[in-house]
Amino acid sequence: MRITNLRATPLAVPFRQPERWAFGTRSGLVSILVEVETDDGVTGIGEAAAYPSADIVLAVLRSLEDLVVGEDPMRIERLSKRIELVGTWHHVKASSPAIAAVEMACWDIVGKICGQPLVNLFGGRVRDEVEFFYYLSQQAPAQMAVDAAHGADEGFRTFYLKVGADDPALDIARVEAVRDGAGADALIRVDANESWSSGAAIRIIKQMEPFGLELVEQPVSGRNLQEMAYVRARVDTPILANEASWTRYDQLEVIRHGAADAVSLDNQMDGGLLNLKRGAGLCEVAGLPVLKHSLGELGVAVCAAVHVLASTPNFLPASQSYASFLLDDILADASPLPYKSGRLRVPTEPGIGVRLDKERVEKYAELYQRGARAFAFADSEAMVATPVLPKS
């Protein structure tokens, strides 16, 4: 079997409410649907987040054509090495989502050829459902309490909010409001996205701790692992690495420095599903739990990852998703994705186990072509307001 064609379709899907963080606001997300066609007639589907932009993902996909067309999609290790070494795409991160989408589509082909859902090819189920968190948009505390109560009513147990505001008192008030809205049993996870100095991090985390935190994500720079370890040693709340742990090489350094209690992994930022499994294994032998980070994904990418999350023991219960934002999706019979109590069941059909809704794909491809500027974080207002980091 040989790959005959790569087809890329950028899609723009609106959010129910704007996503706001320290560096911008977006009102929907852009993802690139990748279809890998073969001379066998089997087509694999994958998806790349538009990171750092849709144009860059599309350019990387065009560059990959010569390396991929004519290759056997079942030989995924060989294909990945060919892209990395022959194609000199070893400068990962910016190129990674496009590479990961091709790898994802090849896994979909493997599953379809074998007649098995991917979970059975990645080690088999250790859980039947995978849990995700409820992502709260940054708003006034009272509104966040209402949103958190809504998420709790829908059955989500873990709540995630961005912190690192110019006024730390506002962050603390937001955590208090989320506790009020989500209830006493909810898990609250805060993400500072590297905003704080180590001194600020310790001071602010200690003021948030009375409201009960599950994890603090990336309180200080992810490029300064000694500072992460310094903060970790001085607060009671476990520290979650994210900007420090994009690739397996980064994850190894986090482990070596004792910089975190838990580690975010992202198959889109580390070249594919196989590397997601490898990263989890690396952390497992170091005694650390992991969770899946999301750059913002539609149902193809979410369901592809669900197979790995369901077959890998050391994933923490709640991984990241955009369940609280996405108005719609592109899957037949599953748009939006059917989260039940914050959980998705592992697909049972061969491969990733999802089918595209062609009408929705066309609709959101048209929306992208009409102009998806509001779907990128690069808004001029936030660029002006971008603070100098770290905050002390």
Contact residues for Mg ion, defined by CB under 5 A: 191, 217, 242
The distance of closest approach from Cβ of residue 320 to Mg ion in the complex, given in angstroms and rounded to an integer, is 8
Contact 295, 101 (CB under 8 A): no
**Of all helices (H) and strands (E), which one includes residue 12?**
strand 3-21
Gap between the terminal Cα atoms of the chain: 58
Q: How far is the CB of 86 from Mg ion (least distance, A)?
A: 33
Q: Which residue number, 217 or 270, has a Cβ lying nearer to Mg ion?
A: 217
Q: Which is nearer to Mg ion, 37 or 217 (CB)?
A: 217
Give me the least distance between CB of 319 and Mg ion, in Å please: 12
> What is the CB-side half-sphere exposure of residue 204 using CA atoms within 13 A?
28
Between 152 and 161, name the residue whose CB sits nearer to Mg ion. 161
C-beta closer to Mg ion: residue 112 or 293:
293
Q: Are 166 and 391 in contact (CB under 8 A)?
A: yes
Residue 153: C-alpha distances to residues 115, 149, 190 (Å): 38, 6, 20
Burial of 388 (0-12, 13-18, 19+ CB in 10 A): exposed
| Shortest distance (Å) from residue 25 CB to Mg ion | 17
260 alpha carbon, distance to own chain's centre: 19
- Least spacing, CB of residue 264 vs Mg ion, in Å: 6
Least distance (Å) from Mg ion to the CB of residue 344?
21
Helix residue ranges, H only, the chain: 54-68, 76-81, 96-114, 118-121, 141-153, 168-182, 198-208, 225-232, 248-257, 273-285, 299-310, 358-370, 380-385
Min CB(222)–Mg ion separation in Å: 9
Least distance in Å: CB of 160 to Mg ion? 9
| Helix (DSSP H) and strand (DSSP E) numbers for the chain | 13, 13
Which residues are bridge partners to 319 per DSSP? 132
Element (H, E) at 5: strand 3-21
Q: Which is closer to Mg ion, CB of 135 or CB of 339?
A: 135
- CB nearer to Mg ion: give 288 or 331: 288
CA separation for the pair 124, 122 (Å, rounded): 6
Residue (195 or 242) nearer to Mg ion, CB:
242
- Residue placing its CB nearer to Mg ion in the complex, 242 or 324: 242
Chain position whose Cβ is nearest to Mg ion: 242
